[in-house]
Amino acid sequence: MRLQTFLVPTLTILLFQAGLAPFAAAEEPGEKIVYGKYDNNELAVDKMDGTIMVQHHGEAKPFALQTLSTVEKGDIVTVYDGSWVIFKDHRGDRIGLDSNTTVAVNDFYIAGPSRDIIFLLQKGSMILKTSNVDSKQSFFEVDTGSVVTSINGVEAILTYYPDENEHLEVQYFRGKLKVIDKSNEYKFGEMPKVGSNIKNLRDKGETPDINDKQLDYIPQWSELNWENGVLLDKQPTTVEEIVNVNYKRFFDGEDPLEAVGNNILLGDSILMAELRAHGVGGAGIKEANTDYQRGLKAYREGRFSEAKDWYEQALAAQPSYHNAQSALQRLAQEHPELQIDESDWKFEKQPAKNP
């Protein structure tokens, strides 16, 4: 049910007689009035900044979104340069659209344990923070050219450039996500069941099953890219820490932090706060982060033994540095020839100390 349409004077009188007031009044007679509640087939604007326009199905004239506005099936949302918006449904899922993004809502309905959601990401970036749904009747899909991304409870960023060979970039942090391209299906963060033919992208060992099928496991903090419906490189790269930091800042309504190469341009106080959030604290906080960033650089450039040394050096200074732990674990799984002992990267979480 879309926002009901009334003339402003009539609606205002009715609301005040009932002891209520509209959250936002339409500026022109006949425009839609915004209410505080939204239905199962609506997404409400949670936060936004800049110019975001929505084209309703069957209507010729688009209109500007504002806080507490809603969109539904058939709408096309366009986020202009320098703008962004975060939508929220009544289950608490949050779907962000960054600058220069256009999305069509092909289907949207949530009822009980099920949800039926299909977005067509025409261009730009969709930032996802969604809850897990166990119902087998549910589906949540993002279509990007010839590739479909199936969403469950996940934290991830999808960026699509249709004019650049239909380039899709998937930056995955945690949760469950599945990408289906022209010939394969790739599961992120979901370990295949014991007995299946597992091919871990970090460990080339396989365990056959009767169906002789192969399931790929893609761990947290992975980035993969597709062009024209084909995976470019089956070996994932590590999502840079600055991307995860800015992901969190996006949902907090904060401006992104800038990065030049591998050096994050942060003030000391901001750097301390961000690192503490990742389990880093106490003396040597900056040194540990510097070692970790050097490890990431060495990893991306294929110098895996050097990356191991940097990660271990970071963990020697900060044993509870979660990202360094994950990076070393990933390296151990990818490169058994490095003989990284499990005790090198499985540390008990230590409480952060004040610097």
- Would you give per-residue pLDDT tens digits along the chain (355 residues)? 333 333 333 443 344 344 443 333 333 333 333 334 567 788 999 999 999 999 988 888 899 998 888 999 999 999 999 999 999 988 889 999 999 999 999 999 887 777 899 999 999 999 999 988 877 777 899 999 999 999 999 999 999 999 989 999 999 998 989 999 998 889 887 655 544 444 444 444 444 433 444 445 687 888 999 999 999 988 888 888 788 888 999 999 888 876 544 444 444 445 555 555 555 555 566 777 788 888 888 887 778 899 899 988 888 887 777 778 888 888 888 888 888 875 645 444 333 334 3
* Angle at 151 (CA atoms; ends 224, 96), nearest 5 degrees: 85
Domain ranges of the chain: 1-35, 37-241, 257-344
| Structure confidence at residue 219 (pLDDT) | 79
For 57, what's the count of Cα atoms within 13 Å in the CB-facing half-sphere?
Answer: 10
The SS3 assignment for 46 reads strand
- Got the DSSP string for 241-305? HHHHHHHHHHHTTPPPPPEETTEE---HHHHHHHHHHTT--STTHHHHHHHHHHHHHHHHTT-HH
Long-range contacts of 309-316 (CB under 8 A, 24+ apart): 311/345, 312/344, 314/288, 314/289, 315/288, 315/344, 315/345, 315/347
pLDDT of residue 27: 35
Single pTM value for the model: 0.64
pLDDT at position 45 is 93
pLDDT number for residue 278: 54
pLDDT at 24: 37
Residue 109, amino acid = Y
pLDDT for 301? 74
Assign 3-state DSSP to the chain and report helix, strand, coil percentages, each to 5.
25, 35, 45
Predicted confidence at residue 282, as pLDDT, reads 56
The per-residue pLDDT for 323 is 76
Please tell me the predicted confidence (pLDDT) of residue 178. Answer: 92
Per the rule left: phi > 0, alpha: psi between -120 and 50, beta: everything else, 215 is beta
**pLDDT number for residue 67:** 82
Cβ-Cβ contacts under 8 Å for 49 (sequence gap 6 or more): 83, 84, 85, 253
CATH (one of 3.40.50.300, 2.60.120.1440, 2.60.120.380, 1.20.910.10) for 37-241? 2.60.120.1440
